[in-house]
Structure 1
Amino acid sequence: MTGFWDSGDVSAAERRQRRMEEARRRVESGENSPPPPTPAAPAAATRSRTTRAPRAATVDPVSVADAQYAVWRSVQHFCLSDSLPDASGRNLDLLIAWSDTIQPFRLRPRIVARLDSDGAWLPVCYAKDGARDPITQAQAERYRDARVEGAGLSGGAQKPLKETDHPESTVAL
């Protein structure tokens, strides 16, 4: 005997034929068919999604009608209280489109701010690749506070700006 199925008097071809006949019989009798589908469970109340922390509120850049806007080269430029914006104007979309001419293919987005009634600049969005990127209310307040108080944002991780890094004048659009 060389294997489990060896019976000595039956050839391998005959054993294969018997297995095929047994399989055919099971298929025809329904033994090999899958079980019938289980009835659908009654519609139970769906689980509500877990409550996540609410997303940070974003600033609406056009919430004030006829506002004055300005764009800076970066957040670092904006946070320096004595830095001039690169451009200013009343048309937000034109200002954002123009901002790509400051330094094309810039990795850091430029920042756009709106002049409020107190004469302070409030960041309203980023300008990147000619489009608006939203800014959260918390970021806007942090940047405004850094500009007013003169505090650094990243604890000194950024290189200080040189005098030549700032625009000499603001372009009116």
Structure 2
Amino acid sequence: MTGYWDSGDVSAAERRQRRMEEARRRVESGENTPPPPPAAPAPSTRPTRTRSARAPKAAAVDPTAVPDSQYAVWRSVQHFCLTDSLPDASGKNLDLLVAWSDSIQQFRLRPRIVARLDANGAWLPVCYAKDGSRDPISQAQAERYRDARVEGAALSGGAQKPLKETDHPESTLTL
């Protein structure tokens, strides 16, 4: 038995005792301690941090800006952006439309979109409908969706499957 730690005449307990004594000696002599951290500069020489102003959030569309408006809800943004797509429901009561939109079960995971009919006969998105409440939409996003609907331009995000005829409502419910 001539192993690495086997010295023949020293027991395992004695070897452990020697290692502990060596470790204690190193700690007491300062061999195992890290060097002290560098001293902090004087407060007058420290550079002051200035926070940069955050870019302002895009302005949100006010859904109720035009009184006595006609509103409609689509199953998804993808449905809205198709030029000839019909809304699932329409009416003058925005909150009723938003609450009703939760009943569209097969498209529940997609954000539904609510739009307002403008004076020119075009639909302008005013908010998303999610879980029975309104989620704001930015003015830029609303214009982008409206342009896609009017011009027939495709939105980015090509991971969406094209819609089938059966994905569209056959008629619009009036609430």
Query: TM-score when scaled to structure 2?
Result: 0.70
| More moved, 56-65 vs 100-109 | 100-109
Of 113, 138, 154, the match for 1:111: 113
Match of 1:156? 158
Over residues 83-107 of structure 1, what are the superposed CA-to-partner deviations in whole Å (9 max), with x where a residue is unaligned?
0000000000000000001126722
**1:35-54 counterparts in 2 under 5 A?**
49-54=51-56
Q: Give the RMSD, CA atoms, in angstroms.
A: 2.1
1:112 partner SS? strand
Q: Check conservation: 2:76, 2:110, Cα contact below 8 A.
A: yes
Q: What are structure 2's unaligned runs of at least 5 residues?
A: 1-20, 22-48
Of 83, 98, 101, the match for 1:99: 101
Runs of 4+ in 1 over 3 A off after TM superposition: none
Query: TM-score when scaled to structure 1?
Result: 0.71
Query: 1:129 deviation in Å?
Result: 0.4
Aligned length: 132
- State the alpha-carbon separation in 1 of the partners of residues 104 and 79 from structure 2: 13
Q: Percent identity?
A: 83
Of 166, 169, 172, the match for 2:168: 166
Match of 2:126? 124
**1:12-27 counterparts in 2 under 5 A?**
none
Match of 1:61? 63
Q: What are structure 1's unaligned runs of at least 5 residues?
A: 4-46
- State the alpha-carbon separation in 1 of the partners of residues 107 and 169 from structure 2: 18
Over residues 37-93 of structure 1, what are the superposed CA-to-partner deviations in whole Å (9 max), with x where a residue is unaligned?
xxxxxxxxxx87421111111000000000000000000000001000000000000
Q: Check conservation: 2:98, 2:134, Cα contact below 8 A.
A: yes
Q: Check conservation: 2:75, 2:107, Cα contact below 8 A.
A: no
2:90 partner SS? strand
Match of 1:89? 91
- State the alpha-carbon separation in 2 of the partners of residues 53 and 77 from structure 1: 32
- State the alpha-carbon separation in 1 of the partners of residues 59 and 83 from structure 2: 25
**C-alpha spacing 1:85/1:105, structure 2 compared with 1 (3 Å):** closer
For 1:143, give the aligned amino acid: Y
**C-alpha spacing 1:111/1:137, structure 2 compared with 1 (3 Å):** same
